[in-house]
Structure 1
Amino acid sequence: MAGITTKELLEKIYHEDFEKLKGKKLRMVRVRVPGKEVCMAHVISPSSSCIYQNLGLHIGTHEGEDHTGEAVGIIRFTPWEAVVVAADVAMKSADVQIGFMDRFCGSLILTGGLTEVQTAVEEVVKFFDQVLGFKTCPVYKS
């Protein structure tokens, strides 16, 4: 179609489809095509126990542990399985503990002293950038 942009064409096609589907049951499917990316890297300075409890860092394998006064490092990856490599790099680069690791969603939570957590998060981001060629984000600290 001359004079119409791709965006305008897609909007028209989808609008017509949704108009035809009004009043019918819809099934939405979410498809994700992960790239090679470290999309979040954040270091939280030591804080109150409610942070650790809300993250669930006081249950399961960590039941009975008191993380009050420890820093928290949160890193998010795609593809999700990259979290396994990140955990290995983090543990070898600083004295941190794995608070949570989810290879199905790509989340890694580290705990420990502020300097140690900051070092681990920075080393993970650097490794994924320089060695594995991932797109990375800056490490944010609060």
Structure 2
Amino acid sequence: MEKERIIQEFVPGKQVTLAHVIAHPGDELAKKIGVPGAEAIGIMTLTPGETSMIAGDLATKAANVNIGFLDRFTGALVIYGSVGAVEEALQHTVDGLCQRLNYSVCSITQS
């Protein structure tokens, strides 16, 4: 039996590739993400992956949000809190990474 080999590559550069707010997620989705009962969930993907630590720091200092998941290897960050707090935290984080650290950033989206 031949093993499948997967190679994961990262492009050089500093980017926020996703910044999304899920307002009022369904119970099943919130539970699957690992934040049951959350009023809103913020999702970010960042390159390089270590940026997730900086983003988590910026987000939690900007608004009353909690970290649901942070992975410094893949650059994933999940925050949760009230809709307004998650929106504020994501905006502050995207702005901070862009203005202070010269990251290329995407627009914040919402569903």
TM exceeding 0.5: yes
1:34/1:49 CA distance change after superposition, 3 Å? farther
Number of aligned residue pairs: give it: 109
Distance 2:6 2:89 in 1: 39
Aligned-partner SS, 2:19: strand
**Post-superposition offset of 1:78:** 0.2
Stretches of structure 1 that go unaligned for 5 or more consecutive residues are 1-24, 58-65
1:135/1:115 CA distance change after superposition, 3 Å? same
**1:122 partnered with 2:91:** yes
Match of 1:98 among 53, 67, 75: 67
Partner of 1:112: 81
1:28/1:97 CA distance change after superposition, 3 Å? closer
Partner of 2:13: 35
**Post-superposition offset of 1:30:** 3.8
**Post-superposition offset of 1:67:** 1.6
**Post-superposition offset of 1:32:** 2.5
Between structure 1 and structure 2, the one with the greater Rg is 1
Runs of 4+ in 1 over 4 A off after TM superposition: 25-28
TM-score, length-scaled by structure 2? 0.89
1:34/1:95 CA distance change after superposition, 3 Å? same
Partner of 2:37: 67
Aligned-partner SS, 2:101: coil
Q: Which has the higher contact order (CA 8 A, sep 6+)?
A: 2
Aligned-partner SS, 2:78: strand
**Please, what is the CA RMSD of the aligned residues?**
1.8
1:98/1:28 CA distance change after superposition, 3 Å? closer
Partner of 2:26: 48
Aligned-partner SS, 2:104: coil
Stretches of structure 2 that go unaligned for 5 or more consecutive residues are none
